[in-house]
Amino acid sequence: MPQKEYSWILGAGLGFALGGPLGAILGGLLGHQVGRMMNKEGSSFSAFPGMGQRQPDAQQGDLIISFLVLSAAITKADQQVRASEVRAVKAFLIRSFGPQHAADLMRLFKQLLEQPLDIPGVCAQIRRQADIHFHRLLIQVLFEIAASDNELVKAESELIARIASDIGMADVQFRAIASQYELKAPDRDFELLEISPAATNDEIKSRYRELVKQIHPDKVGHLGKEFHDLAERKFKEVGGAYERIRKVRGF
C-alpha cells in the first residue's frame, strides 16, 4: 500500500494506539512501511516519543483506530460479514471523515476483517484512556452497525456486552443503550434513564437532571459531527422517556 495513503491517519495522532494492541494491529497491517515512518526523523510519529504517552492531538487518531478494530470485530462476530454492516461502517466513515479518507480507512477495515484481533487488549487501553462520553457513543455506534441489517444476533449483542464491560461501562448504562435496539426490552423508559422502576418521583427527577448533564451533545462536540448527532438523538430519547414517565406518574 502506498505510504501516502495513511500519512493523514498517522498525522492525526495515534496517542495510546502506539503503545499497545492498537499499535500492534496497525503495525501488522502496514508492515515495514509503518516501521520506517515511525523511525523516520520528522515523521508524523515524532510527536509521540513515549510509548502510551498521550498528546492533545491524539484523541482523533485513537478514535479512528479503536473504532475500526471494534467495528471489524462486531461485523464478523457471527462468522459472516454482511454487506449491510460493511455499508454501515462505510457510511459512518464518510460522514465523519469525508469520501477520500473514508476510502483509506475502509481498506484498513477490510484487512482487519481478515486479522485476529486482540479485543480485550484494545478495550483495556480504551478503559484507561477514554472517558464515559466516548464509551457511551462507541457502544451506540457498534449497536447501530450490528443492527443495520435489521437483525441483532446473539453473537453480536454478547460481544458488544463484553466490550462494554471490558471498557468499564456500568451495566445500567449498557442496558440503557441496548434497550434501544431490543424491541421487547422491559421498562424501556426507566432503562433509558438508567434507574429502577421502583424509584420515587424525586429520585427520577434527580436522575434525569444528572443524566441530561452527562449526555448533553455539547459534551462530545470535539469527537466530530457524527458523534454529536448520536448524542443529540440519545438526548432526545432520554427527554422523551422522562416525559412519558412524568405523565404516567402525574408529577
d(CA 122, CA 69): 8
* Residue matched to cell numbers 432503562: 191
Say which range, 19-28, 86-95, 225-234, has the weakest mean pLDDT. Answer: 19-28
Per-residue pLDDT reduced to its tens digit, 5-38: 444 444 444 444 444 555 555 555 544 333 333 3
What is the SS3 assignment for 246? Answer: helix
Mean pLDDT, the chain, integer: 76
* Cα–chain center distance at 171: 17
Quick one: pLDDT at residue 63? Answer: 64
Residue 186 has pLDDT above 70, yes or no: no
Domains and CATH numbers, the chain: 3-185 (1.10.3680), 186-251 (1.10.287.110)
pTM reported for the whole predicted model: 0.59
Q: Where are the alpha helices (DSSP H) in the chain?
A: 7-12, 21-30, 32-39, 59-75, 83-97, 99-112, 119-129, 132-146, 154-166, 171-178, 188-192, 201-215, 225-249
Per-residue pLDDT reduced to its tens digit, 39-81: 433 333 232 223 234 444 455 566 678 888 999 999 999 888 9
The grid coordinates of residue 98 equal 469525508
User: Contacts by 47-51 with C-beta closer than 8 Å and gap 24+?
Assistant: 47/13, 48/13, 48/14, 48/15, 48/18, 50/19, 51/18, 51/19
